[in-house]
Amino acid sequence: MRRKREQRKLIPIKQALYIVLSFGFLAASAMMFFVEPELSRPFFARPFNIYRISIMVLALVFLLLATKGNWLNAKPDTVETPKASKWLKRLSYVLPILAIICLIIQLACPEFATLLVRKETWPFYRNAIFIKVALQLIGLVAFGRIAYKYARQHNWLAMILAALVAIVLFIMAGEELSWGQRIFGWATPDSLSGLNEQGEMNLHNLATQAFQNTLYFGGWLLLIGFAFWNKSLAGIVAKAKPLRFLTDWLPPTMFVLAFAPAFGFGDPLHSETGLYYGSNLFIVIGTLIALIALCIEYVYNHNDKLLRQSLLTLVAFLIIAIGGFGFSQVWNINSGAATEYLEVFISVGLMSWALLVNSRIKLSQPAQKNNQ
């Protein structure tokens, strides 16, 4: 009897193979993040790009196969309040439409798009920066409240992690404003001005592209990667009692439908950045595969409504990716606008995630009190 029970607990050989292969290819993909972009230019003329794409696709496909039992599942991933559920549904329709509108404005009237996003004269002074800061500060306040709730529950590990997230959001907001320089016009110290790529009083422009790629990949992990594999992650976290509170932190699958199109924004192929960075290429490939997998899931579960929505999101993502990477001459007029759009959407995602976690903890408090 004991042997039979032990055999049932063992992972099937096929699944174990998928896990090993997925982590192997994921490790190879991560190593490519640090390869110099010059090795892959021009994009369509270098065989190295075929190797990169193949390895990244295999990594994600094997990861899908290894976690098939979790993501190919009709059960809801999280239980939200009725208000949060309505808000998530609206977000999943509004944000893809907004992303398409941003692309249309950029392609049809790039000069006007410059006024909206990057113009540095009043009354249009880098509007995107102040929008991002406002969203990040809302997220900061939400995680401050979350830390306070955990403190009242005497969950000190959760309180520390929530406080750390709040600090990160505070640093992000401060960096966006160059710590007040954009508002008050402070002079950049000489010691920093020579090192900073834009001569500003911030840290992220000491290595702009490295910080940008970290933000984009981190945003993708939260809003797409963790959202898609939330059931698998919930199963892992639930096994460690001190970390079970993190199940409240996992973003919902609906985030994929809401934020996927935004990850189609990127620097055009003629630039020296964009897809030539391995992390950015992985983001685009990962988003595409996640959307295709969602379509497969909804076909498998006969969920026609979500299937239609996921197909529309997939089309929106493809339109934005083709428009972003293909129409390079338009982006020349408004250099850097594509990444500004992406950063705004990531900030919307951070705020949405913070508010959602806050609402979930309100739900779990009564149950915890009753258990005590």
**Looking at 79-83, 201-205, 265-269, which range is the least confident one?**
201-205
Separation CA 92–CA 181 (nearest Å): 35
Residue 150 has pLDDT above 70, yes or no: yes
Separation CA 306–CA 364 (nearest Å): 28
Instruction: Summarize pLDDT for 298-344 with one digit per residue, the tens.
Output: 999 999 999 999 999 999 999 999 988 877 666 666 666 778 889 99
115 vs 280: which has the higher pLDDT: 280
Residue 265 has pLDDT above 80, yes or no: yes
274 vs 157: which has the higher pLDDT: 157
**Looking at 123-132, 250-259, 278-287, which range is the least confident one?**
123-132
Of the pLDDT bands very low, low, confident and very high (cuts 50, 70, 90), residue 157 is very high
Instruction: Summarize pLDDT for 14-38 with one digit per residue, the tens.
Output: 999 999 999 999 999 999 998 888 8
Please, how many CA atoms are within 13 Å of residue 246, restricted to the half-sphere of its CB? 19
Residue 159 has pLDDT above 90, yes or no: yes
| Mean pLDDT, range 53-70, rounded to an integer | 95
Q: Report how many helices (DSSP H) and strands (DSSP E) the chain contains, helices first.
A: 18, 2
Residues 331, 232 share a domain: yes
Residues 337, 223 share a domain: yes
In a domain, 42, yes or no: yes
Separation CA 241–CA 250 (nearest Å): 16
pLDDT at 1: 45
**Cα–chain-centroid distance for residue 316?**
17
Q: Which residues pair with 121 in a beta bridge?
A: 124
In a domain, 277, yes or no: yes
pLDDT at 289: 98
Strands (E), the chain: 120-121, 124-125
In a domain, 228, yes or no: yes
* Kind plus residue range of the DSSP H or E element containing 45: none
Both tokens of 49, joined, read: 């790009």
In a domain, 71, yes or no: no
According to DSSP, residue 363 is labeled H
Both tokens of 302, joined, read: 């006969």
pLDDT at 193: 58
In a domain, 163, yes or no: no
In a domain, 295, yes or no: yes
- Provide the number of structural domains found in the chain: 2
Of the pLDDT bands very low, low, confident and very high (cuts 50, 70, 90), residue 369 is very low
Q: Give the three-state DSSP class for 78.
A: coil
Instruction: Summarize pLDDT for 119-134 with one digit per residue, the tens.
Output: 666 655 678 888 999 9
Question: End of a domain among 19, 39, 66?
Answer: 66
Dihedral of CA 268/273/276/277: which sign?
Answer: negative
Neighbours of 320 (CB within 10 A): 26
pLDDT at 370: 39
In a domain, 73, yes or no: no
* Residue 315 exposed, middle or buried by CB count within 10 Å (0-12, 13-18, 19+): middle
Residues 90, 59 share a domain: no
Instruction: Summarize pLDDT for 349-368 with one digit per residue, the tens.
Output: 999 999 999 999 865 544 44
Q: Are 172 and 143 in contact (CB under 8 A)?
A: no
Amino acid letter, 6? E
In a domain, 45, yes or no: yes
370 vs 136: which has the higher pLDDT: 136
Residues 264, 360 share a domain: yes
* Residue 209 exposed, middle or buried by CB count within 10 Å (0-12, 13-18, 19+): middle
Q: What is the mean pLDDT of the chain?
A: 85
Residues 11, 105 share a domain: no
Backbone phi, psi, residue 259, to 5°: -110, -10
Neighbours of 310 (CB within 10 A): 26
Residues 103, 13 share a domain: no
Neighbours of 344 (CB within 10 A): 22
Both tokens of 218, joined, read: 């981190």
Residues 87, 27 share a domain: no
81 vs 100: which has the higher pLDDT: 100
pLDDT at 187: 64
Q: Are 363 and 147 in contact (CB under 8 A)?
A: no
Residues 88, 61 share a domain: no
Question: End of a domain among 66, 94, 113?
Answer: 66
Residues 52, 22 share a domain: yes
Residues 328, 239 share a domain: yes
Separation CA 250–CA 234 (nearest Å): 8
Parent domain of 364: 83-125+206-371
pLDDT at 38: 87
